[in-house]
Amino acid sequence: MAIIRGLLAIISVLKIVKMSKRIEFVKSIAALSDVEINARIKEDQLRLKKLEFAHTISPLENPMSIRDLRKDLARLQTALKKKQLGF
């Protein structure tokens, strides 16, 4: 029972750390201009294509990096759309 509680505590700490990284990412996006966000989107799209290609040829050490990059791209695109709409 104590082992399970310990594991649950570790999982909750990891979730908090991951959430704080996400919040920092969103805050850093807010400081960027439209042009900078567009450049970052294009950069990340290229990185995503390269990662997916590399993963197709041979498995990546951390395939979750593809998922994380897709989520970051979506956050960037959302931030860009919000700035364009004036939110």
**CA-to-CA dists, residue 44 to 5, 13, 48, 66, 87, angstroms:** 38, 28, 6, 11, 24
pLDDT tens per residue across span 22-72: 788 888 888 889 999 999 999 999 999 999 999 999 998 999 999 999 999
More confident residue, 3 or 23: 23
At residue 64, the pLDDT reads 92
Yes or no: say if 70 and 41 are a contact pair by the CB < 8 Å rule: no
Residues found in the chain: 87
Question: Which pLDDT score, from 0 to 100, does residue 50 have?
Answer: 95
